[in-house]
Amino acid sequence: MGATKRHLDRLKIASKIGQAWLHGIFTSSRLAPGLISKSSGAPADQFHLLEQHRQYGNIFKTWSGGKLTTCIVGHELGLRFLTENKAKLRAATIDMTPIFPEGFLRAMEGSTHVHYRRMFLAAFRAVSLEGRSAELRTILRSRLAELTTGEGRLRSQAAARILKQASTALMLQLVLGAKDGSEIAGELTDAYDDYAPNGMHIVITPTERAKYERIKRLVLALADDLKRSEPAPSSLLEYMVRSQTLDDTVIGNLIHMTEFARYDFHGLWRWILLELAGEESYLNLIAAEPDAGRRELMAKSAVSETLRMQQSEFILRTAIMPIVFEGFLIPRRSRVRICIWEAHRDPGQFLDPDVFKPDRFVDKKFSGASYAPLGLDHHRCLGAGWTVQLSGMLVEELAENFSVKLFNYGTVSRGHFHYEPGPDSHISLTARR
């Protein structure tokens, strides 16, 4: 079976390169330089593209996920590519149209994307986290308390499980309005864990569709209850109900925003926990800071540095027609990877780029030309503000109520969608006396 797959990969590679060579004759272009690997899986080495960037320059090719992929390093270059070729690109993401009309927001284009993006932007603006810190930090504190181990070692997978519970509770509350500890929140948690236990499936099958319908029924029940709640919306679902914009596409997006967010948040928080375990002095500085605003800024800076170092990896697009950019041919149906993670390791933009320095964001702001962890173009993450705010609350909780120590940083491993702390990563988390 393995030999057959390798043979098919070789045929695909040869076919795609042959097509590109023929097309290049007519366009005076060529494929970008780079190493074509015969492996279609994601390499275990987190630095593999950074090494190719250093060898081949800002535009190079590779073979990733069974696709010829052109990699672009540098936010200004990447944004220019996305802007100039907007009509020739589509987001390389999961096709949700089998389960709801128009699909997921990040895959939409044109007037449909504009319509729904404006709708969701209005919802995010209406649902403020201001004044809700105590409520939200209580959820985080209760889950972190479950991770306390005395002086024993806390393994990476144990942290992942509890942090997933925390991110799920917060997203159910903020996106769908299901209060932590309520019966409906418990039902939704079970339904989500059944639907996507380790991140979304790449292909939606009839089985996933049936599981999605279970979640949808629970969300519609919540929507009926929200019609009788307080005037100010406390969740995105409540805003949509009150603005009378709740259709099947909105419901599908709310459901999947919850899923993608609970997965991505818990992944980011695993990195925050691991990185800050080696920065006890920085956590002590946060805890001792008398000014609340400064304390919040320091916590958010730790989040920004973690996003720079980890989790924010790439923007992926599919070329729906041939593109020539900077003299290089990007064939139709091949992919383009805007390398966010690699650009964040640029020593010209960040001093000691491979060193975790949370204070680098405290008194300095970086432009989008050097720092863009949550997107570059019109598909930039709508929940970017929530990402920093909620993760900052987690850091403040760690600093004020817990002591975290590093035993072993471990080896970075490739997860379902992102690189993540390896199973050999060990820390300890204890309650502060």
**Residue ranges of the binding site:** 381
Helix (H) or strand (E) holding 67: strand 67-73
The Cα 174–Cα 274 span in angstroms is 26
> Please, which contacts does 137-142 make with residues 24 or more away whose CB atoms are closer than 8 Å?
137/393, 137/396, 137/397, 139/166, 139/169, 139/170, 139/173, 139/180, 140/166, 140/170, 140/393, 140/394, 140/397, 141/397, 141/401
The Cα 398–Cα 358 span in angstroms is 15
The Cα 29–Cα 329 span in angstroms is 6
Taking alpha carbons only, the member of 198, 209, 139 closest to residue 169 is: 139
Question: Helices 183-195 & 206-226, crossing angle to 10 degrees?
Answer: 160
Q: Residue ranges for the binding site for heme?
A: 381
Query: How many CB atoms neighbour CB 364 within 10 A?
Result: 8
Q: How far is CA 424 from CA 143, 158, 206, in A?
A: 22, 12, 37
3-class state of residue 80 by DSSP: helix
Instruction: Give me the DSSP letters along 189-230.
Output: HHHHHHH-BTB--SS--HHHHHHHHHHHHHHHHHHHHHTTS-
Which residues share a beta bridge with 154? 427
What is the DSSP-derived secondary structure letter of residue 369?
A: T
- Beta strand residue intervals within 257-399, DSSP E: 314-319, 323-325, 328-330, 335-339
The Cα 406–Cα 91 span in angstroms is 38
What is the DSSP-derived secondary structure letter of residue 38?
A: S
CA angle 282, 400, 129 (to 5 degrees): 100
Amino acid at 332: R
Amino acid at 421: P
The Cα 275–Cα 132 span in angstroms is 26
230 touches 353 (CB < 8 A): no
Q: How far is CA 18 from CA 14, 23, 347, 352, 412, in A?
A: 6, 9, 37, 42, 36
